[in-house]
Amino acid sequence: MLPDKQARVRLEGGSVRLRSVSLRQDRLVRGSPHDRATSLPCRGGRVRVEGQDVGDLTTAVRRFVREVLVPAEPAVEENDAIPAAIVEQLRSFGLFGMTIPEAYGGLGLCMLAEARVAFEIGYAAPAFRSYFGTSNGVGTLGILLDGTDEQKRRYLPRIAKGAIMAAFCLTEPDAGSDAAAITTRARRDGDDYVISGTKRFVTNAPQAGLFTVFARTADKDAGIAGISTFLVDRERAGIEIGPLDRKMGFRGSQSADVRFDECRVPAATLLGGKEGVGFKTAMRCLDHARIHMAAISVGLCTRLIDEGVRHALGRKQFGRAIAQFQLIQAMLADSEAECFAARAMVEAAARAKDQGEPVTKQAACCKYFATEAAGRIADRVLQLHGGYGYLKDFPIERLYRDVRLLRLYEGTSQIQQLVIARELLAEKAR
């Protein structure tokens, strides 16, 4: 039986005590062991999820999101930063270690449990999730999947506590969707590697203490077999953080270029101690990240629908609430149906991943459908608000800008279409 963990949320001018936030998963049904390459450890070992008992955690997170994060959104938008007090509250929940096993101080949530928490976190402005989710998501998954025991011991406990943040350095100025085209080099020099190159759109670059860096250890002719992964500490000489990106939305989630100029690192920083497997690591990280991002999108869809319903019930035209008009009802119905479908897709893909099944196609389907649905729902809800939806006084104006990014990162919608088609055709050809 797993130990209880407590979470408390303190608010300025008072406190909200979330007592007895049990993270027990006594109802988890153990399944047969499966390949470590396709699944990460779940709390209590590898499990098959049936009626998973994470209700206390999700209830606590739901309350925290609605009572703390949502009211803080205007300040985060204005200042383009998340208050330190809220960061500390996120740490108190253990959210910096959602994916990290208990052995390293994390919550050890399996994919379905993580998705259910993400449904709740996604209800607030996505900058909050981006702050901790990127660190214990793509920033850490490579270590979990392919890291040595020493690399795990060195980094995972600190990441789980939120003592350091991890950033994912794959994209470059000339290598976005074509990730295999990266040109950052890692040259072997005795017992060291020397890294040179520029990484773009690095989320949490200003705050990160660890960079998971993908670089070429062989000539470009080697293709993806020439890409390796390095764990680079922030204090290494030769690292420069560029100016903050000025984004359309996602204010509070800071990103920037990271430049490596003859940055010398020990050979022990090579992830897993093996050259040439970096691209495979990146793609496996993205399978997980795409399910997670789809779950966040479901949370945003839920928020958007709530904003639409609230306005439709309160706004009156022609002597009655606009919610009584059938065209308004149609917009809400379409939105609710898409949100329901996206949630079902995410839960199905998460269960498959927890059972050790290959989920590349399912993850791409989830990410494609859920993020596109969020865009459609945001557009309907803004339309439902009429001219008010175009004003910064209403949350929909900001949420409309925020959801636009969902279709771009962790692979664009077009990349998801290509992945889905490639996997589908390969299945039929077997």
For residue 147, what are its two tokens?
């890291």
CA nearest to 70, candidates 299, 249, 298:
299
Strands 192-203 and 255-266: antiparallel
Q: How far apart are CA 112 and CA 99, in angstroms?
A: 11
Helix, coil or strand: residue 340: helix
Catalytic residue list contains 410: yes
DSSP 172: B
CA nearest to 409, candidates 138, 208, 181:
138
Based on the number of CB atoms within 10 Å of its own CB, is 154 exposed (0-12), middle (13-18) or buried (19 or more)? middle
Structural Rg of the chain based on CA atoms: 22
Q: Given the residues 338, 347, 410, 423, select the one marked as catalytic.
A: 410
Q: First CA to last CA across the chain, in angstroms? A: 43
Give ∠ CA 255-257-260 in degrees, rounded to 5.
135
If phi > 0 it is left, if psi is from -120 to 50 it is alpha, else beta; for residue 272 that is left
Task: Report yes or no: 149 and 179 within 8 Å, Cβ to Cβ.
Answer: no
Cα distances (angstroms) measured from residue 1 to each of 55, 111, 211: 17, 20, 36
For residue 201, what are its two tokens?
């759109």
Q: How far apart are CA 167 and CA 185, in angstroms?
A: 18
Using H for helix, E for strand and C for coil, what is the string for 185-233? EEEEECCEEEEEEEEEEEECCCCCCEEEEEEECCCHHHHHHHEEEEEEE
Q: How many CB atoms lie within 10 A of CB 262?
A: 11
Which residues neighbour 393 within 8 Å (Cβ) at sequence distance 6 or greater? none
Q: How far apart are CA 424 and CA 418, in angstroms?
A: 10
Q: How many CA atoms lie within 13 A of 100 on its CB side?
A: 30
For residue 401, what are its two tokens?
């800008």
| Active site residue ranges | 410
